[in-house]
Amino acid sequence: MTERQSPTAAIVLAAGEGTRMRASRPKVLFELLGRSMLGHVLAAVRALSGDVVVVTGHRRGEVEAHLEEIDAEARPVFQPEQRGTGHAVRVALEALAALRQLPATSDLTGSVLVVPADTPLLTPSSLQAVLEHRESTGAACVVLTAIPPDPAGYGRVIRGDDGALAAIVEDKDADAAQRAIREVNTGVYAFEARALARVLGRLTTDNAQGEEYLTDVVGILVADGERVSAVVASDWREALGVNDRAQLALARACLRDRRNTELMRAGVTIIDPATTWVDVGVQVEPDAEIWPNTILVGATRVAGGARVGPNCYLADTDVGSGARIRDATCEGAWIGPDAEVGPYTYLRPGTRLGRAAKAGAYVEMKNATVGAESKVPHLSYVGDATIGERTNIGAATVFVNYDGLAKHHSVVGDDVRIGSDTMIVAPVSIGDGAYTAAGSVIVDDVPPGALAVARARQRNVEGWVLRRRPGSAAAEAARRAGATEPTPGDAPAPGDAPAPGDADDRSSG
């Protein structure tokens, strides 16, 4: 049987229940910087290996559905009983042999990389170092180890007098002297396939947890006279496994720091890396500036010369060169070059700001296109609308787009001036160069160059305060300003409505 071009296979162990997470979903599906734990491990493994087998167990349906989304080429294999990491690898080897159409696991050749799915900080470079060491030395097994500040909870690496790797002892099975050892097992191994297949059947459950430990393979290989070696990770944090939410937060912070360092070394200015979160799928070009308390997630892209922050959340948003965004939430938006957003602005999906356009303070937009150099400076809602170029939308303007059943679209042309507190009741069209008077309710189309006035004429009811609020502070102020006392018996002036709360008030509050 002809082998595939890449002899390296990878086994990812993702069957554990993760009870310490106290979660309703599988542990390996928790996200860090826009990618699941399993996704981070697969991304590292995929840089090196051909065939990938993922061992599933607890809530397998959810894990396998996620696997189909992120890596459809990976082969899931179900471990119906979680009888330990050694048993999981045995199940995976059988699936790998079937994948390569081999009659038995003993027919497998090349390197087999074994990686736990709850170690999201692993890097391709460390995995590559383990594989290269195994292949260059011909070792039956190479273990990736680390030296963390606190080794508690990790399996300890036992070395012989000559410094060679002799065994790995799990934390629960270690004695006091072994627990004092700081070098720990990361759970990452590179095996020679035939040696691994030969030894797995000899594992026992004679240990504190009554499971088949993959770590026992090391001691068996050493006893058989096989060469076993170790590579120490350059950064101990790669060994960080995630077993509870406190460890998840620590891993997130480590990934955040790693991601921000990569961006800064690539030419991005990050003012405060500790408060800046950038998903792994986000693109930030050199010369962009990210200010404090900023979160960039999803498919967001920030062009060079743009400045985002402080206090921004951007999801799936494209930011053009020279744009300025502060104190804003933007989701599914397109912000053109030199555009200005904020402060306290909400751009919802479908928003497109043209070159040098502005969405200012307390502005909300949804499914709206704003042309070049047009401005919506403050206190307005623009929904389901197209606004032309060089147009100004006055404060407190609302595009009334919903009739209770459906959304409707409005069009505002170029060089239009919308007066403050205008209600634009869709669907309407306001032509190029038109004006609307402040306080108008626009329900009909406005021709180009026209002034639309849609409001009631003001009427002043003289003496109303003195009649209806005698003795009040307002009445005294009015009297001082020269307001005259009404003559007894005078008929009420037109529009002299009863005061709110009067017995004869017929208003519909």
Name beta bridge partners: 13.
55, 116
d(CA 398, CA 396): 6
**E-only strand ranges, 276-400:** 276-278, 283-284, 289-290, 294-297, 301-302, 307-308, 312-315, 318-319, 324-325, 328-331, 334-335, 340-341, 345-347, 352-353, 358-361, 364-370, 375-378, 381-387, 392-393, 398-400
Closest residue by Cα to residue 392 from 410, 374, 378, 404: 374
How many other β-carbons are positioned within 10 Å of the β-carbon of residue 229? 16
Structure tokens belonging to residue 89: 């690898």
Kind of pairing, strands 334-335 and 352-353?
A: parallel
- Provide the 8-state DSSP code for 406: -
Task: Name the maximum alpha-carbon separation found in the chain.
Answer: 119
Report the catalytic residues: 378
User: Is residue 217 within a helix (H) or strand (E), and if so which, with residue range?
Assistant: helix 216-223
How many other β-carbons are positioned within 10 Å of the β-carbon of residue 62? 14
- Provide the 8-state DSSP code for 239: G
Residue 158 and residue 166 in contact, taking contact as beta carbons nearer than 8 Å: yes
Structure tokens belonging to residue 119: 């170690």
Residue for token pair 């993702």: 14
- Provide the 8-state DSSP code for 483: P
CA quadruple 89, 91, 94, 95: dihedral sign: negative
